Structure 1
C-alpha cells in the first residue's frame, strides 16, 4: 500500500524578511563650464585704446596754446604760423614766448608794423580784427624798442599809436590805460594841441626816442600790439 506524503507550511516567528540591498544614491557630477565673454570684447578694447591715443595727441597739440586759459585768444584764432623765442621769459618761468610770423617780440608783447595806410579809426579797427590794438607805450624801454625797429624797417614817415583825444589836449589810450604826461615821448615843441590834430603818431624821421607827434587823423601807417602767447 503506497504511503501518503503530507506537506506542512512552517513559519518561524523570529525570522526577518529578506534584506533588500539598496544602491547608494547617485552622486551628481559637477561639470566645469568656462566663463564666456562677448566675441566683440577685443574690438571694444582696441577701440578704447585708439580713442585714448587720439585724445592724447589732441591734448599735446592744443595744450601749449591754451595753457592758463580755457579759450584761445583772438590772436591765436587769427593766425596759424608762429615764431617762438625763449629769451622773453624771466626768473623761474620756463617755456617760449610766441608771436605770429612777421610780428616783433619785445618782453611779453608782439608788435605788427603795417605796410599800408589807414585813418586812425580804421587802423584801430584793423588791429582789433587781428586780435590786437594800436600800440600802448608804457615804458621808456618799449619806446626805445619801437624807435629802433621803425628806424630799421620803416616804410613811412608816421606810424599811429593808440593815443588820441576827443577834446584838445585830453589824451587817452585805446585800452583805457591812464595817460601819464611824465611818461610821454613828445618831439620838441609837440604836441601842437590844435583842434584838427587829435591823433598821435611816432615820427620816424626824428632821430631820437622822443618822437611823438599829434597829427590830423587821416591815412597813416600803424603799429599794432598784442600779448605774446606763452607755451
Structure 2
C-alpha cells in the first residue's frame, strides 16, 4: 500500500514573517534638462575645421618675407647700404657676391624709401652707387640693359652733366630733395645693393 505524503506548515518562534521577494523599484524615466544643446559638439567641430582652413590659407597666401641681418626691407625687396668705398665695377661685383646687385629703382615709392633710409643712417656717406650707368654719353641704362625711363628718373637740378668722364650714377645724400641722382666719375663711393626678400 502506498504511503501518503503529508505536508505541514512549520512556524518558528521569533522568526520574521517570510520575506517576500520584492522586485527592484522601477526606474522612473527621469528627464534631466541638458546643460548644452545636442548640436554643440557639431558646432565646435565645425569651428575647429574652419580655423584650420583659415590657417592653411594664411600660410599659403600670406607668407612672411624677411631680409638678411643688416639689410632693410621695402615691399618684396631687401637693401644693403654699405659703409665702405669701392669703384662702380667693384661695387657691382661686391653686391653679386652677396647674391644681389646694385639697386635698380623702378618707382617714386622706392626712391622715397631709399631717401628716408639714407637720412636715418648713422654712418651715412655722401654718394651711394645705384645700378645705373652709361657706356655712351647720355645713354643711361640699368644693369640689365633696360633704358632709363624718364618717368622714373630722379636727377638733381642741373643733372646729369652728360660728360664723358661721368658715366656712373649715385644718390647724393646731401641733397634735401628726393630728386638726388648725380652722374659721377666711376671712382670710390658707397653703394646700395638690392636683393629679393626671402619668403618663408
The question of a shared fold, defined as TM-score above 0.5 by the shorter chain, is answered with yes
Structure 1 counterpart of 2:113: 145
The answer as to whether partners of 1:136 and 1:175 remain within 8 angstroms in 2 is no
- For 1:160 and 1:125, locate their aligned partners in 2 and report how far apart those are by CA, in whole Å: 12
The alpha carbon displacement at 1:95 in A equals 2.0
Structure 1 counterpart of 2:86: 118
Could you list the structure 1 runs, at least 4 aligned residues long, displaced by more than 6 angstroms after superposition: none
Alignment of 1:157-168 (within 5 A): 157-168=126-137
Larger of the two Rg values belongs to structure: 1
The alpha carbon displacement at 1:179 in A equals 1.5
Higher relative contact order (CA 8 A, sep 6+): 2
Structure 2 counterpart of 1:197: 166
What's the TM-score once normalised by structure 1's chain length?
0.59
The answer as to whether partners of 1:161 and 1:201 remain within 8 angstroms in 2 is yes
RMSD: 1.1
The aligned length equals 140
Deviation digits for residues 45-96 of structure 1, max 9, x if unmatched?
xxxxxxxxxxxxxxxxxxxxxxxxxxxxxxxxxxxxxxxxxxxxxxx93121
- For 1:157 and 1:194, locate their aligned partners in 2 and report how far apart those are by CA, in whole Å: 21
The alpha carbon displacement at 1:197 in A equals 0.2
Q: Which one is further off, 95-104 or 134-143? A: 95-104
What's the TM-score once normalised by structure 2's chain length?
0.68
Q: 1:210 aligns with which of 169, 176, 179?
A: 179
- For 1:193 and 1:178, locate their aligned partners in 2 and report how far apart those are by CA, in whole Å: 15
Alignment of 1:37-116 (within 5 A): 93-116=61-84
The answer as to whether partners of 2:137 and 2:164 remain within 8 angstroms in 1 is yes
- For 2:148 and 2:183, locate their aligned partners in 1 and report how far apart those are by CA, in whole Å: 15
